[in-house]
Amino acid sequence: METERFVIGVDIGGTKTAAALVRARRPRPERPASADVETPEIVERFTAATDTSSPEATVRGIVDCVARLRQGPVAAQAVGVGVASMVDFAAGRVIESVNLPLADVALRDLLYRRFSLPTVIDNDANVAALGEWAYGAGVGARDMIMLTLGTGVGGGIVSGGRPLRGFSGAAGELGHLIIDMDGVKCPANCPSWGCLEAYAAGSAMGAAARAAAEQEPFSGLGRASAAGRSVDGRLLTRLAREGDAAAIRVVERTGEYLGVGLVSLSNIFDPELFVIGGGAAAAGDLLLEPARRVFATRALRPARDRVRIVSAALGPEAGVVGAAALALLELFPPGRSA
Ligand SMILES: [Zn+2]
């Protein structure tokens, strides 16, 4: 049995920074899916709006979150950080970000110098994947891919029981999988066209919903738009769940784009499981069933007959729990005690 440890998990997003002191054991990725998984316990938490007015302000906010949790009665043993940025994992550096003013910041060393605790940082989508793998929908899988459908599309790959990070630590940018060479311009900080993100992110779903509202003024989407409501991914999901045919068609089309992306990922990485998370995945099976249908007809055998496509299982704590899992997996190698 692994030793119980206290680690600080930090989840740095474009709008909020969440940190939690988590009590957990190092996850055993090799355990069967049927095994009972001890859910990490959140002992204490601190959340603040991310100050994006300057790089210094953002870093100050991050340091402040960790400092608050260091004041509690329980001493943390390590810090794990997930950040919504491109990360050079080996160097512990933030390379660049879209929604944060962080570029070329040695965040790991900066936090280590400040708190003298072993620290590890990674991209937030990788961290989400590790969290699901350790404690959520991915328990028992040796080969798993997670896609996070949020403002953009992020991803994380677990291959042969190890997170796959690539040469520069930036692997898993699955939102930039090209699904249409001549497709729409990628909305992110990316020079390409036709990336999955341009079709399956929450913002893309919102844009498709607005187009449908215009084309079908008598649909639920059309009426909501005419009434002056903001037609975005969230409203789209709600109307689809209420049965609005136009909204359902938009969600289904999004699910098909997602399915096409999963086909390519399956043919390359051969995972046993895809986990789909993020706010835009709230449509659940309305989104996943069309993805499964596309997958069942277009992926290669044997994957197409046995790969599972499921929703993420960790709830709103996924970011901090994933960051804690990252710290436990990376900083406490198996077999080393205390
Ligand atoms: Zn792109």
Distance 38 CA to ligand 1 centre (A): 37
Strand segments (E) across 117-152? 119-123, 144-149
Distance 108 CA to ligand 1 centre (A): 27
- The residue ranking higher by pLDDT, 107 or 1, is 107
- Average pLDDT over every residue of 252-261: 97
Distance 185 CA to ligand 1 centre (A): 8
Distance 175 CA to ligand 1 centre (A): 6
Residue-wise pLDDT tens digits, 142-176: 999 999 998 889 999 999 888 898 887 788 999 99
Distance 166 CA to ligand 1 centre (A): 18
Distance 203 CA to ligand 1 centre (A): 14
Residue-wise pLDDT tens digits, 207-225: 999 999 999 999 999 999 9
Residue-wise pLDDT tens digits, 48-93: 999 999 999 999 999 999 999 998 788 999 999 999 988 999 999 9
pTM of the entire predicted model: 0.91
Distance 146 CA to ligand 1 centre (A): 17
Q: What domains are there in the chain, each with its CATH number?
A: 4-133+316-331 (3.30.420.40), 141-311 (3.30.420.40)
String of b and e for 238-267 (b: at least 16 CB within 10 Å)? ebbeeebebbbbbbbbbbbbbbbbbbbbbe
Distance 25 CA to ligand 1 centre (A): 37
Distance 89 CA to ligand 1 centre (A): 21
Distance 256 CA to ligand 1 centre (A): 18
Length of the chain measured in residues? 338
